[in-house]
Structure 1
Amino acid sequence: MNKAAFFDRDGTINVEVNYLYKIEDLKFIEGIPELIKKYNDNGYKVIIVTNQAGIARGYYTEEDMHKLHRHINAELKKIGAHIDAFYFCPHHPEHGIGKYKVDCNCRKPKPGMIEQAIKDFDIDVSQSILFGDKPWDIEAGEKCGILSIVV
């Protein structure tokens, strides 16, 4: 089994920007790239779990978000760090448009993204940790039995 460090994205690894998708708007929170590298170096899978209501609302596309995620990994690579996987929820039960207006199991505080990552990466939750900046991040991690810390 693997151990994992789960991170929320907005407000946890990058400075909060409402509906971030533009590369030029990305700014890492000080010390976070180095923290990610520390977990990489210590054998943890580093996994992002992020609600992306901007997709649901039609503000940007899934491809816009994937482009930003590729850029995040390119920036982390400069210090020898990386994110193993990005899990995202593009849904919103009230403000979603079209196929994105869904009351899903992946939107935090529901645990769907974390549960999928646990399955995909054979994660030992007792050896794992989650970092988030919102109550719903912590709730989702705790529902999966993961030590969850507010940053």
Structure 2
Amino acid sequence: MADPEFRPAAFLDRDGVLNRDVGYAHRNDQIEWIPGAAAAIRRLNAAGYLVFVVTNQSGVARGLYGTADVERLHRWMAERLAEQGARVDDWRYCPYHPDHRPDRFAAFAGWRKPAPGMLLDLMRHWPVKADRSFLIGDQETDMQAGAPAGIAGHRYGGGDLETLVARLIGTTGAGISNGEEMGR
């Protein structure tokens, strides 16, 4: 069996990057897509990038919804994206929060951004070429999660997500500083 071909990856935060952050979204009726979200993912797919979603979900720890709700929403989001020709290769979420039910979700403590656990787990399961990969997030904790995983972080500040992705993959990190805010 041949070794898998290592590819660059785009790690995307969910709330605030793919969909508007409405606070603890866990149902499909709460999802309002960011302009250009599906087009951005299609562009990444066409360019040969692996596409991953990495999202903190403290609403689980807070008891607002369960892991089954998160997984159901992610399946629904993947289906809506697929209808537009866009594919997310894998999803990771962290149900842990240090102030809410920390014992129940302690195994995920290292996954909660700013910790790099979700990224590192994906890199263990997929053939990721880290030096050509990047993370797009809307919070400082997203930027902080990328660095220890060797992944450049880029802050999404609004606007059309495809425009940001086109710029990032057009330069493959050159000319864009780590953590530079892009968008509006």
Q: Does the alignment pair 1:93 with 2:98?
A: yes
Q: Which position in structure 2 is the counterpart of 1:44?
A: 49
Q: Which position in structure 1 is the counterpart of 2:163?
A: none
**1: distance between equivalents of 2:108 and 2:45?**
34
For the 8 Å contact 1:53–1:91, the answer to whether it is kept is: yes
Letter in 1 for 2:52: I
Aligned residues: percent identity? 36
For the 8 Å contact 2:94–2:108, the answer to whether it is kept is: no
Q: Which position in structure 2 is the counterpart of 1:114?
A: 119
**2: distance between equivalents of 1:51 and 1:138?**
13
Give 1 or 2 for the bigger CA radius of gyration: 2
Q: Which position in structure 2 is the counterpart of 1:18?
A: 23
- Taking the TM superposition and a 5 Å limit, the aligned residue runs for 1:2-151 are 2-96=7-101, 99-100=104-105, 104-151=109-156
Q: What is the CA-CA distance between 1:101 and the residue it aligns to? A: 5.8
**2: distance between equivalents of 1:101 and 1:55?**
13
For the 8 Å contact 2:114–2:144, the answer to whether it is kept is: yes
Number of aligned residue pairs: give it: 151
Q: What is the CA-CA distance between 1:97 and the residue it aligns to? A: 6.3
Flag as ranges the 4+ runs of structure 1 deviating above 4 A: none
Q: Which position in structure 1 is the counterpart of 2:177?
A: none
With structure 1 as the length reference, what TM-score do the two structures score? 0.95
Structure 2 unmatched ranges of 5 or more: 1-5, 157-184
**1: distance between equivalents of 2:33 and 2:49?**
20
**1: distance between equivalents of 2:58 and 2:30?**
17
Residues 39-85 of structure 1: CA deviation (Å, up to 9, x unaligned)? 01111110011100001111001111111101111111111101111
> RMSD of the TM alignment (CA)?
1.4
**1: distance between equivalents of 2:105 and 2:8?**
32
With structure 2 as the length reference, what TM-score do the two structures score? 0.78
Q: What is the CA-CA distance between 1:127 and the residue it aligns to? A: 1.0
Letter in 2 for 1:45: L
Tell me the SS of whatever aligns to 1:99: coil
Structure 1 unmatched ranges of 5 or more: none
Q: What is the CA-CA distance between 1:95 and the residue it aligns to? A: 2.0
**2: distance between equivalents of 1:46 and 1:132?**
14
**1: distance between equivalents of 2:25 and 2:75?**
14
